[in-house]
Amino acid sequence: MTGSKISYSIMLTILALYSCNQDKQASAQTELNNKSTDCIRYILSQDDSLGKIRNEASFIMPLSASIHNYTSDLQALNYKLCPTDFTIAFNNHIKAWQEMIPTVDPYSEMRGEMHYLFKEIENLDPDQFNLALENIWDTWDVVEKSKLQNK
């Protein structure tokens, strides 16, 4: 009977430890998910703030320079806690913006709000401009899908 009680006691201890370990794993996964969500929110809020600066910076500097500053600032952000698919999608979006630079650089003397300049440049070089802009929007769609998948 004593051996039976010891076995039963050992089994209860093992089950309690296993249950505790499962709880810790679930808690760690929840914390990781929260950190991932927080990282995505942080990156998107920084993109919003930096995008506003980019849009207005072209009043005082070439549009290509404001886009360069915007993409450099985005690249400098910490993506370490973001999900891999979001990080890849966002980096592709940054590259799409960088690919816009050669399209707008010939118009470096133009000044104004970015969207106004985009309309002007589109009238001057519609094929090249629309291709670059389409790439920006396409990569943004992937960022948005990744954000929704990682909620």
* Contact present, 107 and 119 (Cβ < 8 Å): no
Q: Within 13 Å of residue 48, how many CA atoms lie on the same side as its CB?
A: 6
Q: How many CB atoms lie within 10 A of CB 113?
A: 14
Counted domains in the chain: 1
Residue with tokens 């998948």: 149
Among 36-45, 84-93, 132-141, the least confident range: 36-45
pLDDT tens, position by position, 86-127:
999 999 999 999 999 999 999 999 999 999 999 999 999 999
Mean pLDDT on 5-27: 52
Question: Is 59 a residue whose pLDDT tops 70?
Answer: yes
Tokens of 137: 């929007």
Of the chain, the percentage scoring pLDDT greater than 70 comes to 77
In a domain, 52, yes or no: yes
Would you state the pLDDT for residue 57?
Answer: 96
Closest among 51, 68, 65, 70 to 115, alpha carbons compared: 51
In a domain, 126, yes or no: yes
Mean pLDDT on 38-55: 95
Question: Is 12 a residue whose pLDDT tops 80?
Answer: no
Domain holding 143, by residue range, is 36-149
In a domain, 104, yes or no: yes
Q: How many CB atoms lie within 10 A of CB 2?
A: 6
Question: Is 28 a residue whose pLDDT tops 50?
Answer: no
Alpha-carbon distance 129 to 64, whole Å? 13
In a domain, 16, yes or no: no
Would you state the pLDDT for residue 134?
Answer: 98
Residue with tokens 């927080």: 38
Mean pLDDT on 25-31: 44
* Contact present, 50 and 104 (Cβ < 8 Å): no
